[in-house]
Amino acid sequence: MDKTYYLAKWMNGELSEAELRTYVSAQEIADYKRIISHTNQYKKPTINTSDILDHVLQTKKKSSTSKKRSFAMFYRIAAVIVLSFSVYYFGGTNKEAFNTSTGEKLALILPDHSKVELNAKSDLSYDKKEWKNNRSLLLHGEAYFNVEKGSKFSVQTSNGTVAVLGTQFNVLSRNNNFEVTCFEGLVEVTYQNNTYLVAAQNSLKLVKNTPVLSGINNQNLPYWTLDKSRFKSAPFYQVIEAFERQYELKVTYPEYLKNELYTGEFTHKNNEQALNAIALPFNLTIIHKKQHIVLSK
């Protein structure tokens, strides 16, 4: 770790007091604490927000050309969410990368207007320069794609490659868990040198490392884009992992439950409800310990 700005690191909780002690005296630390505790009591300056907004909006008549867009909701989400995330540019390489942490979701628009939604704890990257010739993305985690028609569009994951021409599909690739769901069009999945075609309203899923095709029931969007996770005969540990990706909480549970099968869903909006939805079918008791949840019989 770079230690030059130890005071900033310490104030941000990245450095412990004991570590700080190697740079400065105990008296100095006491002084810094006093400064910090005083500044914590300062009030933000007050401002009359709504007056200013009214004034700003009046300065420019809304351009009459803006048409109703069917993706208005998408844009709204995209604008708000994309902005609240930082976009990482990697100097020189033209690589565009996006990532989400626990409980975050991200909507973005690719240069060809294809739309992507990224679930929590996922990474997505592509080469900006090469994009025109080669629509290829790297994915770790889970994402939903709505692809504009055009040349071949491919998503590469550690488990396999998913290729399409123009369609809507969801890809989940975490560790050994690989699942591709096609909502519209046709998707080509390459897994261990075998090619599988997944038609609309079908899903390809690994069951004990063998790909299995199954239908989905008139579903138009992956459940996670509607802020819930749904499982059908999924091992319990995968359910807990999915829960931990949405909430800033660690969960422990009896070892024997690990591969028990769970069918049901939980919400991403309320951790109490979500926990109940997971624990009730197994008749488990929920114990809260700060950022830690213990499930037991």
Partner 1 sequence: MNSRELVQFCDEKIFSSFFTNQIDTLHSFIFYKCGNNALASDISQEAFVKFWENCSKILPDKAKSYLFTIANNLFLNNYAKQKVRLNFEKIPQESSNNESPEFLLEVDEFDQKLQGAINNLTEAQRVAFLLNRVDGKTYKEIAVFLDISVKAVEKRIHKALKSLREEIDEL
Task: Check binding of 152 to partner 1 (CB under 8 A).
Answer: no
Interface residue with partner 1, options 64, 70, 86, 285 (CB under 8 A): 86
User: Least distance from C-beta 57 to partner 1, angstroms?
Assistant: 7
Binding residues for partner 1 restricted to 31-70, rule: CB under 8 A: 31-32, 34-36, 38-49, 52-53, 55-57, 59-60, 62-63, 66
Closest-CA residue to 247 (of 226, 266, 222, 232): 266
Task: Check binding of 74 to partner 1 (CB under 8 A).
Answer: no
Task: Check binding of 131 to partner 1 (CB under 8 A).
Answer: no
User: Least distance from C-beta 80 to partner 1, angstroms?
Assistant: 6
Q: Which two structure tokens, joined as six digits, stand for 77?
A: 């989400």
Please count the other Cβ atoms lying within 10 Å of the Cβ belonging to residue 193. Answer: 6
Cα-Cα-Cα-Cα torsion 293, 173, 105, 127, nearest 10 degrees, comes to: 140
Nearer to partner 1, 17 or 31 (CB): 31
Nearer to partner 1, 69 or 208 (CB): 69
What's the number of CA atoms in the CB half-sphere (13 Å) around residue 192?
6
Nearer to partner 1, 69 or 289 (CB): 69
Phi, psi of 11 (to 5 degrees): -65, -25
Task: Check binding of 73 to partner 1 (CB under 8 A).
Answer: no
Nearer to partner 1, 18 or 56 (CB): 56
Interface residue with partner 1, options 111, 150, 215, 281 (CB under 8 A): 111
Do 257 and 282 touch, CB atoms closer than 8 A? yes
Task: Check binding of 274 to partner 1 (CB under 8 A).
Answer: no
Q: Which two structure tokens, joined as six digits, stand for 25?
A: 């005296």
- How far is Cα 77 from Cα 108, in angstroms, rounded to an integer? 9
Do 181 and 170 touch, CB atoms closer than 8 A? yes
Phi, psi of 151 (to 5 degrees): -70, 180
User: Least distance from C-beta 41 to partner 1, angstroms?
Assistant: 5
Nearer to partner 1, 33 or 297 (CB): 33
User: Least distance from C-beta 124 to partner 1, angstroms?
Assistant: 15
Helix (H, G, I), strand (E, B) or coil at 39: helix
Instruction: Say which residues have a Cβ less than 8 Å from residue 190's Cβ, sequence separation at least 6.
Output: 160, 161, 162, 163, 196
User: Least distance from C-beta 54 to partner 1, angstroms?
Assistant: 10
User: Least distance from C-beta 147 to partner 1, angstroms?
Assistant: 15
Instruction: Say which residues have a Cβ less than 8 Å from residue 164's Cβ, sequence separation at least 6.
Output: 145, 147, 152, 153, 154, 185, 186, 187, 188
Nearer to partner 1, 60 or 289 (CB): 60
Task: Check binding of 186 to partner 1 (CB under 8 A).
Answer: no
Task: Check binding of 138 to partner 1 (CB under 8 A).
Answer: no
Interface residue with partner 1, options 21, 76, 232, 258 (CB under 8 A): 76
Binders of partner 1: how many residues, by CB under 8 A?
51
DSSP 196-243: EEEETTEEEEEETTEEEEEE--S--S-GGGGTEEEEEEEEHHHHHHHH
Residues that bind partner 1 (CB under 8 A): 2, 4-9, 11-12, 28, 31-32, 34-36, 38-49, 52-53, 55-57, 59-60, 62-63, 66, 72, 75-76, 78-80, 82-84, 86-87, 109, 111, 113
